[in-house]
């Protein structure tokens, strides 16, 4: 697989590059994009090794967005490893540049910019906001303790709240712009909640999964990391049987 063919640069990124060139900040933005690409390659490489089907990676001014074609009920541990792999590759890349700097192959001024970019990008990516890595990791933790649909609602609403709060609290124009650009993707996540839940239900209906059993009364309380016995007319039946009734009923409406 040619990973380079998976990378797409958004139009807004080209615009920011042009503006930064005219404003005299091109080196900052250029270094930022290099770090973003390295970060996202970390996700891509580890995801490939774990057998994930990679769709594409989109480079935005605030960071990258890696999209996978994987089952929603994929292992939480595997998804966690992929989520942190970008930061690990970024740190390794920074240490590589630091070694080069120690041999005087990078100027002091450029390396100071590299330090700032590395620090800010790590801190930004680990904000508990979807679709950032921090938001993905936070959501994976919620999946362990809360139903799938509720987890997605909570992390999305929290992401909106925190993003708006940060816009008013942060005294850094670049970070504020990055968060404002991020809000569009958070809104998309919000609009996709019901779609993702229906996809989750259909996946459970069509596939076979082997997790611990949990008894529930409502399919909206289904967990990502459990299989379920769901109450139906005073008895508990397995989720596949329950969902077959649900989807067969819809088919006849």
**CA triplet 40, 13, 39: central angle to 5 degrees?**
15
63 or 107: which leads in pLDDT:
107
- 27 bridge partner residues: none
List the single range of 56-60, 71-75, 247-251 with lowest mean pLDDT.
247-251
CA atoms of 205 and 244, how far apart (whole Å): 7
Confidence of residue 248 (pLDDT cuts 50, 70, 90): low
For the chain, domain boundaries: 3-125, 202-252
pLDDT tens-digit series, residues 182-237: 888 898 889 999 999 999 999 999 888 889 999 999 999 999 999 999 998 889 99
Residue pLDDT, tens place only, 28-43:
878 888 998 899 889 9
**Local confidence band at 145 (pLDDT 50, 70, 90 cut-offs):** very high
Mean pLDDT within 21-34 = 78
What does the H/E/C string look like for the chain?
CCHHHHEEECHHHHHHHHHHHHHCCHHHHHHHHHHHHHHHHHHHHHHHHCCCCEEEEEEECCEEEEEECCCCCCCHHHHHHHHHHHHHHHHHHHHHHHHHHHCCCCCHHHHHHHHHHHHHHHHHHCCCCCCCHHHHHHHHHHHHHCCHHHHHHHHHHHHHHHHHHHHHHCCCHHHHHHHHHHHHHHHHHHHCHHHHHHHHHHHHHHCCCCCEEEEECCHHHCCCCEEEEEEECCEEEEHHHHHHHHHHHHHHC
Contact at 8 Å (CB) between 47 and 133? Answer: no
Among the ranges given (54-68, 96-110, 155-169, 209-223), the one the predictor scored with the smallest mean pLDDT: 54-68
The whole-number average pLDDT for the span 145-153 is 96
Rounded average pLDDT over 8-31: 75
Average pLDDT, the chain: 86
pLDDT score of 176 more than 90: no
Residue 118 token pair: 């590395």
Lowest-pLDDT range, 60-64, 106-110, 116-120, 231-235? 60-64
- Global pTM reads 0.85
d(C-alpha 116, C-alpha 109), whole Å? 11
CA angle (140 as vertex; 134, 141 as ends), nearest 5: 90
């Amino acid at each position: 697989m040619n990973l380079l063919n998976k990378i797409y640069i958004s139009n807004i990124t080209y615009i920011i590059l042009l503006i930064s060139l005219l404003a005299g900040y091109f080196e900052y933005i250029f270094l930022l994009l290099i770090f973003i690409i390295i970060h996202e390659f970390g996700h891509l490489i580890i995801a490939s090794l774990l057998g994930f089907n990679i769709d594409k990676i989109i480079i935005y001014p605030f960071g990258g967005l890696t999209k996978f074609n994987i089952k929603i009920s994929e292992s939480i541990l595997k998804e966690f490893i992929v989520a942190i792999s970008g930061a690990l590759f970024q740190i390794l890349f920074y240490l590589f540049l630091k070694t080069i700097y120690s041999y005087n192959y990078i100027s002091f001024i450029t390396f100071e910019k590299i330090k700032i970019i590395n620090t800010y990008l790590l801190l930004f990516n680990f904000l508990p906001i979807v679709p950032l890595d921090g938001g993905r990791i936070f959501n994976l933790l919620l999946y362990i303790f809360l139903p799938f649909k509720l987890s997605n609602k909570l992390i999305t609403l929290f992401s909106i709240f925190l993003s708006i709060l940060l816009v008013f609290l942060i005294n850094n124009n670049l970070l504020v712009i990055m968060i404002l650009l991020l809000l569009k993707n958070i809104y998309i996540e919000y609009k996709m909640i019901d779609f993702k839940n229906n996809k989750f239900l259909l996946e459970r209906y069509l596939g076979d999964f082997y997790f611990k059993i949990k008894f529930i009364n409502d399919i909206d309380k289904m967990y990502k990391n459990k299989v379920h016995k769901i109450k139906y007319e005073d008895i508990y039946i397995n989720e596949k049987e329950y969902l077959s009734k649900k989807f067969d009923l819809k088919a006849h409406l």
